[in-house]
């Protein structure tokens, strides 16, 4: 139950941090607003907005993060993405190279031999990229560009008509670039339409939150974290981020790489977007620009965040060392199957022939390498290696084939690999080499134990059935007492899959298993069915409610056909009345049996505490 009243916690520490950054940015001086068009020349230089959007869909913002500004050159990255989507990298590469030029953004220069713009982040390349976006039945080029931006941001964005008109009026230098591109057949025919659309895309209005969400969609490999919609392919996103990395900050690319280390794009209205693949995007807005055309405070903010939060690509600490969650021998964590003494003896002798390796986290190359190395090391001394991948989050597509091939290598050396994976896990579906797969650790352990018992144990280790007097429950009693108690029991049998006793039922007798297996289960608080024990011939169940009026807290289900002897409550009552001395010995036997189970559990509990290497 929950008895706590609701409360408000105030802004997250991450929001507080961004608020401090904005305050500190107010102290940063210098730069001038762009004067190319009146809307920019007359802009208030003071607003500062910042937003961070994560690939989980979280957003943090501070300052003027909701103030709209026009996207300007930041649009180049996204339109390039649409061109790549429409034409493929080869089709686009024919027209636009991907090399940093070292030139200013509006330089009038094309590669002498090919006529290609150096990259799609300078104006010449951006105009060419716009021209490569198709007019289709589903929308004109301009509509499709606007739709892409909107899907990336997760809301409908609009073109500011005043700014568009101003861009158009002052666009002569860009017109010159357009005609130059036409002269070299980079744009086919009249460039006017492409130029119009380019002016329009530069005039799209958005705020820091929109821009951060657009970046987070790139960070998430093209899937909008909020809508879950795939907006761009992984390949296109990778290509766009690569070009942003080397060319996004114009002739400041090298310093940016050093100080920030994130792919980014700036616009002359004062916006900057920076993307940390797999994690987040940062959007900043502050109009005054430096000599490269980048927002002075925007650059300062990105340097600050990269430094404070270690976002720089080269600052990744080592990955993969948390891949192996734990590893241990069978002897330290036996299966849930309650075996007889003969079996336990054999398993004890071979308890280090089986190694369990639990993996976790993301299995990309470094993780896979660690996993495979760990498996190979285990296989040097163990005949069976059980690899539990249920706690693995993300598994690169090439990892399962590598595990499959490793399994084959192990088998050639008389070793065996088994994988523990969720039922129906996609990972285990397309293995070249078939690997034994189990859905639970319990089943994998039981399998390995059975293998060992088959190889090294006599038939007494895995009895198909026991004599009806051979019950662990009665093992501390004399033959005479056992026979007396047996005479009060009746034979019962159930087919596989029968729930013999359900949690919540009252005591209705003690069952001593003669043949077959019974599983003890319970629902976890979150509703999952948890296997607690598996009982074979010689084991008993139902006695936990014996002598009390409490209800069973667990369910008992047959997993094979089962034959058992049932000792009903009346029989216990009768023994207490007519044979008080036998009753005393019976209760002592039951006590002793229960105590041994408590001890077993303690041993298991101590064994489960594994350390991660």
Nearer to a second copy, 202 or 249 (CB): 249
Determine, following the binding rule CB under 8 A, whether residue 380 of this chain makes contact with a second copy: yes
Query: Mask 200-239, x = binds a second copy (CB under 8 A)?
Result: -------------------xxx------------x--xxx
User: Tokens 């986290």, residue?
Assistant: 361
Residue 349 interacting with a second copy (CB under 8 A): yes
Pairing verdict, β 280-285 and 271-276: antiparallel
For the record, the structure tokens of 340 come out as: 């007889």
Region near a second copy per CB under 8 A, out of 27-35, 163-171, 174-182, 378-386: 378-386
Region of 160-168, 198-206, 342-350, 480-488 interacting with a second copy (CB under 8 A): 342-350
Whose Cβ is closer to a second copy: residue 393's or residue 479's? Answer: 393
The rounded distance, in Å, linking the Cα atoms of 300 and 65 is: 16
Of 27, 42, 528, 578, which lies in the binding site for a second copy, with binding defined by CB under 8 A?
528
Query: According to the binding rule CB under 8 A, does residue 465 interact with a second copy?
Result: no
- Quick one: 491 or 529, whose CB is closer to a second copy? 529
Does the annotation flag 266 for ligand binding? no
Element (H, E) at 342: helix 341-349
Q: Which stretch of DSSP H or E encloses residue 133? A: none
Q: Is 123 annotated as a binding residue?
A: yes
Which CB atom, from 310 or from 341, has the smaller least distance to a second copy? 310
9 lies in the binding site for a second copy (CB under 8 A): yes
The two three-digit tokens of residue 191, written as one number? 């460039």
Out of 49, 267, 277, 516, point to the residue binding a second copy (CB under 8 A).
277
**Closest to a second copy by CB, 312 or 486:** 312
CB of 70 to a second copy, least distance (A): 27
The reply on whether position 449 binds a second copy by CB under 8 A is no
- To a second copy, the closest distance from the beta carbon of 429 in angstroms equals 19
Cα 300 to chain center, whole Å?
A: 32
**CB nearer a second copy, residue 137 or residue 598:** 598
Name the pairing type of β-strands 436-438 and 490-494.
Answer: unpaired
Residue whose entry in the numeric block shows the structure tokens 């009346």: 570
Give the residue, chosen from 21, 127, 379, 461, that forms a contact with a second copy under the rule CB under 8 A.
379
Between CA 101 and CA 107 the distance in angstroms is 10
Stretch 422-441 residues interacting with a second copy (CB under 8 A): none
Say which residue the tokens 């993301």 belong to: 362
- Give the Cβ contact number of residue 268 at 10 Å: 23
* Residue whose CB is less far from a second copy, 192 or 612: 612
Residue 331 assigned as binding residue: no
Euclidean distance between CA atoms 278 and 238, whole angstroms: 11
> Do the annotations mark residue 572 as ligand-binding?
no
Does position 8 bind a second copy by CB under 8 A?
A: yes
Give a three-class secondary structure readout of 572-592: HHHHHHHCHHHHHHHHHHHHH
Q: Is 17 in the site for a second copy (CB under 8 A)?
A: yes
Q: How far apart are the first and last CA of the chain?
A: 38
β-strand partners of 534: 337, 519
Strand order in the sheet with 337-338: 337-338, 529-535, 518-523, 555-558, 499-501
Of residues 233, 322, 436, 499, which one binds a second copy by CB under 8 A?
A: 322
Phi-psi label, residue 222: left if phi above 0, alpha if psi -120 to 50, beta otherwise: left
Q: Residues 101-130, buried b or exposed e (16+ Cβ, 10 A)?
A: beeebbbeebeeeeebbbbbbbbbbbbbbb
- The crossing angle, in degrees rounded to 10, of helices 75-93 and 234-247 is 110
- Binding site annotation covers 328? no
Which CB sits closer to a second copy, 376 or 566?
Answer: 376
Q: Hey, which residues between 529 and 568 contact a second copy (CB under 8 A)?
A: 530, 532, 543-548, 550, 553-554
Per CB under 8 A, 102 contacts a second copy: yes
Whether residue 250 is annotated as binding a ligand: the answer is yes
Residue 53 binds a second copy (CB under 8 A): no
Instruction: Confirm whether residue 73 is marked as ligand binding.
Output: yes
Instruction: Tell me how far, at minimum, the Cβ of 197 lies from a second copy, in Å.
Output: 25
For residue 519, state whether it binds a second copy (rule: CB under 8 A): no
Interacting residues with a second copy between 302 and 321 (CB under 8 A): 308-321
Asked if 104 interacts with a second copy (CB under 8 A), we say no
Output 151 or 585, the one with its CB closest to a second copy.
585
Asked if 57 contacts 214 with a C-beta cutoff of 8 angstroms, the reply is no
CB-based contacts of 234-238 (< 8 A; 24+ apart in sequence): 235/89, 236/81, 236/84, 236/85, 237/81
Choice between 11 and 189, CB closer to a second copy: 11
Which residues fall in the annotated binding site for substrate? 73, 123, 167, 174, 198, 250, 268
Which residues fall in the annotated binding site? 73, 123, 167, 174, 198, 250, 268
């Amino acid at each position: 139950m929950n008895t706590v009243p609701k409360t408000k916690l105030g802004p997250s520490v991450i929001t507080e941090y961004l608020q401090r950054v904005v305050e500190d940015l107010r102290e940063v001086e210098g730069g001038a607003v762009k004067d190319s068009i009146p809307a920019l020349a007359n802009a208030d230089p003071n607003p500062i907005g910042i937003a961070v959007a994560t690939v989980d869909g979280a957003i943090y913002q501070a300052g003027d993060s909701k103030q709209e500004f026009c996207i300007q050159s930041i649009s180049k990255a996204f339109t390039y993405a649409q061109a790549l989507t429409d034409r493929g990298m080869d089709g686009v590469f024919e027209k636009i190279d991907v090399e940093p030029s070292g030139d200013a953004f509006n330089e009038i220069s094309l590669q002498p031999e090919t006529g290609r713009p150096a990259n799609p982040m300078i104006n010449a390349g951006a105009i060419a990229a716009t021209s490569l976006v198709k007019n289709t039945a589903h929308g004109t080029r301009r509509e499709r560009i606007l739709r892409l931006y909107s899907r990336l941001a997760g809301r409908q964005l609009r073109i500011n008509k005043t700014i568009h008109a101003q861009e158009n009026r002052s666009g002569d230098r860009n017109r010159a670039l357009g005609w130059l591109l036409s002269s070299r057949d980079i744009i086919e025919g009249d460039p006017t339409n492409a130029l119009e659309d380019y002016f329009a895309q530069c005039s799209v209005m958005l705020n820091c939150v929109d821009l951060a969400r657009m970046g987070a969609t790139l960070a998430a490999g093209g899937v909008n974290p909020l809508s879950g919609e795939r907006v761009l392919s992984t390949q296109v996103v990778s290509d766009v981020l690569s070009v942003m990395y080397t060319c996004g900050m114009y002739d400041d690319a090298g310093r940016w790489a050093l100080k920030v280390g994130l792919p980014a794009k700036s616009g002359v209205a004062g916006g900057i977007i920076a993307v940390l693949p797999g994690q987040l995007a940062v959007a900043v807005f502050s109009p005054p620009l430096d000599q490269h055309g980048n927002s002075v405070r925007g650059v300062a903010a990105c340097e600050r965040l990269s430094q404070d939060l270690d976002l720089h690509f080269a600052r990744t600490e080592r990955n993969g060392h948390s891949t192996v969650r734990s590893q241990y021998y069978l002897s330290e964590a036996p299966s849930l199957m309650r075996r007889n003494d003969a079996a336990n003896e054999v398993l004890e002798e071979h308890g280090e022939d089986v190694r369990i390796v639990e993996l976790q986290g993301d299995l990309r190359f470094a993780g896979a390498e660690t996993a495979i190395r760990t498996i190979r090391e285990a296989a040097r001394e163990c005949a069976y290696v059980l690899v539990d991948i249920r706690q693995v989050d993300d598994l690169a597509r090439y990892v399962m084939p590598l595990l499959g091939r490793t399994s084959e290598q192990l088998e050639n050396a008389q070793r065996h690999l088994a994988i523990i994976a969720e039922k129906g896990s996609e990972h285990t579906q397309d293995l070249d080499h078939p690997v034994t797969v189990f859905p639970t650790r319990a089943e994998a352990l039981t399998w390995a134990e059975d293998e060992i018992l088959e190889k090294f144990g006599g038939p007494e280790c895995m009895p198909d059935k026991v004599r009806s007097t051979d019950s662990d429950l009665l093992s501390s009693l004399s033959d005479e007492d056992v026979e007396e108690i047996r005479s009060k029991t009746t034979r019962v049998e159930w087919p596989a899959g029968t729930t013999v006793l359900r949690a919540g039922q009252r005591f209705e007798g003690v069952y001593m298993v003669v043949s077959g297996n019974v599983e003890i289960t319970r629902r976890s608080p979150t509703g999952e069915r948890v296997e607690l024990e598996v009982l074979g011939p010689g084991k008993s169940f139902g006695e936990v409610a014996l002598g009390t009026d409490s209800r069973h807290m667990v369910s008992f289900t047959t997993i094979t056909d089962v034959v058992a002897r049932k000792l009903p409550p009346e029989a216990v009552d009768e023994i207490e009345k007519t044979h008080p001395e036998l009753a005393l010995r019976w209760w002592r036997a039951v006590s002793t049996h229960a105590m041994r189970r408590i001890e077993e559990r303690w041993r298991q509990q101590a064994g489960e505490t594994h350390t991660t290497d």
